[in-house]
Every structure is written in structure tokens, then in C-alpha cells.
Amino acid sequence: MKMPLLDHRPILLFDLETTGFSPQKDAIIEVGILLLDATLSPNKKHSFFVKTNRHIPPKITELTGITQRMSDSGEPAKAAFELFRMYNTDQALWGAYNIQFDIGFVQALFDRFEPGLKVHANLIDVMAIYKDRFKAPHALKHAIDTLGVLLPNTHRAIDDVLATAEVLKRLHAKQSVDPFVNAIGYHPKYGLKGPTYSHITYLPNDDQIGRFESHIQHLEGGAHAKE
């Protein structure tokens, strides 16, 4: 049986800025990690640029404000790997807004520096929760506006993870998000992309409000009946 959200230690939200969309071809250029306390308030943060030998496209600099010089002044990619590895336990909960994108880059770090290492942490996708409760559009900036979060969506890692934390806190305050732990949604039109893990349930998540949570509860109800 899955652990409730607040029973995990640590509760970690993260966001990555990258040179593109492919974990195999592109690179992380900024890491933002936020550890939350039992009230889902920020407790500790890690924020740094990451060096890369890949050129940062002008469109990425335009979107994020991150320049080649900023990346060149950052930490080596191994520092990001070691940080994620330190928190990679089966008692931890990792969350992000559209986590399948970010987790692909984390897994690529693991593959690079410790082949065979997989993500063992429990996962929660804050976007999937918002998408299941509110009408489109579902980008982070729209979740911020809808929920009245007074933090910007700047496309900078630590800013966006701080905003994601407040979105998660408000979603959980309205109605428990426990069912969404270890349940990752994907749009049925585009299919599932990114790495998959045996402790995660992957289900289609369309734009019909409430359907994703209903699918999760139906699936878990059936599993519990067989125990």
C-alpha cells in the first residue's frame, strides 16, 4: 500500500532547465531542488547552474535568461547526479510539474555516472493533479493564476519549483492528493514518453476532470481486493 504524501521523508520538489527536450542529446543547465516540511512549506533548497559542453540555443536563453557564460560558471554535472543519488530512497517522494520530462534527465544522469542505477524514490506529478481537477490550459503559469499563487513562473529552476510547491500545497489543502502518489499520467494522443519504473503506475490522463483519479482508485481497489 502506498504511503500518504506527508509520511514521506524527504518530500522533494525539483525543476530542471535544459538545452532542449531530449535527455540523450541535450543537457541540464540549471537545477532547483526544494525540500518541504510536514506542512508542505519550504525547508531547504539547492539551486545552481550546471556546466555543459553543449551550446545553449538562443531560444533557451530567451526563455530562461540563462546564458552560456552562466552555465560555464556552474557546477559539474556530477554534482547534480550526487545530489539526486543522495535523496534516491524508497522513503523519499520526488515531485515536479510534468515530472516525466524532468525524470528523464535525472535518469540520464544516473545512466552516465552509475549505469544500472534507477530511481527508487516515490514520484508525484503536480501537473497531473491540476489537470485532473481543472480545465485546460494546464501549464504551470495557469495553475499559478487559477490557485492565486503569488509567485511567478519565470522558467528558472528554483523559482518554478517554489511556485510548484505552493500549487501542491493548495491542491492538497482543497482535497488530499494521496491517490496521485506513484501514479503518472500521459496524454493518450501522444503516448507515454520517458523512463518507466516498476513501482509507478502509468495511466492515460485526458482532459476530463476527475477521470484520472477515478482510474487510479479503481485500479488500486482491484489490487487491494486480490491481497
Mean pLDDT by 10 residues, the chain (227 residues): 93 98 97 97 97 96 97 98 98 98 98 98 98 97 97 94 98 98 94 96 94 93 51
pLDDT at 223: 54
Report which secondary-structure segment, H or E, holds 184. strand 183-186
Q: How many CB atoms lie within 10 A of CB 125?
A: 25
pTM value? 0.95
Cell numbers that stand for 110 in this block: 544516473
Is-contact 7 96, C-beta < 8 A?
no
Pairwise CA distance, residues 124 & 181, whole Å: 5
SS3 192: coil
Strand ranges, E, within the chain: 11-18, 28-36, 42-49, 93-96, 122-125, 183-186, 201-204
Pairwise CA distance, residues 95 & 211, whole Å: 21
pLDDT at 220: 84
Q: Are strands 11-18 and 93-96 parallel, antiparallel or unpaired?
A: parallel
Q: 9-226 has which CATH code?
A: 3.30.420.10
